[in-house]
Amino acid sequence: METEEPAAPRTDTAVSPVIRGEPVDIPTPVWGALVEDDLRRMEAFEAADPGADGVLHPRPRRLLGWLSLLMFAVTAVLHGLAVAAAGYADVDLGVALAWCSISASVAAVVLGVVAAALGRGRWLGVLGAVGGLLANPWVVLQVLRVFAG
């Protein structure tokens, strides 16, 4: 097996300083220049983590966070429609819409927690979970009972 001699320091510099009136070569590479020796040295090291292989990994999709936020919006709309239906003396429709709103709220909270845990739209998921919890008709009823005394 052949042993390679270490490469001599490179002297192709972008700027050569002058010391005592004479130019001095400093072994620094030109910006962005890679030669075969540099590439061979870089390939000699093992990748320490999955991202160190030089390949750009795609960002995780934010779909769960967006779905959580969407379910929060659906919860708020259904809650408003339930209150409006109950206000117009259609109590059965209001109750049905309130149960749908509770279901949508639970879905928003679950999707938000999963999105936050998996990092798939983390802050969108947190926003959707908190909003879905606060827009839940049962939670709103309990808060109003506390303030009513």
Q: For the segment 20-55, what is each residue's pLDDT rounded down to a tens digit?
A: 666 656 565 555 566 666 666 666 655 555 555 666
3-state SS string for 17-71: CEECCEECCCCCCCCCCCCHHHHHHHHHCCCCCHHHHCCCCCCCCCHHHHHHHHH
Domain extent for 31: 18-53
Q: For the segment 101-127, what is each residue's pLDDT rounded down to a tens digit?
A: 999 999 999 999 999 999 888 999 999
Answer whether residue 96 shows pLDDT above 90. Answer: yes
Which position has the higher pLDDT, 69 or 23?
69
CA proximity to 65, closest of 132, 17, 5: 132
In a domain, 9, yes or no: no
Kindly state whether residues 79 and 132 are assigned to the same domain: yes
What is the per-residue pLDDT for 14? 46
Kindly state whether residues 91 and 110 are assigned to the same domain: yes
What is the per-residue pLDDT for 128? 95
What is the per-residue pLDDT for 51? 58
In a domain, 1, yes or no: no
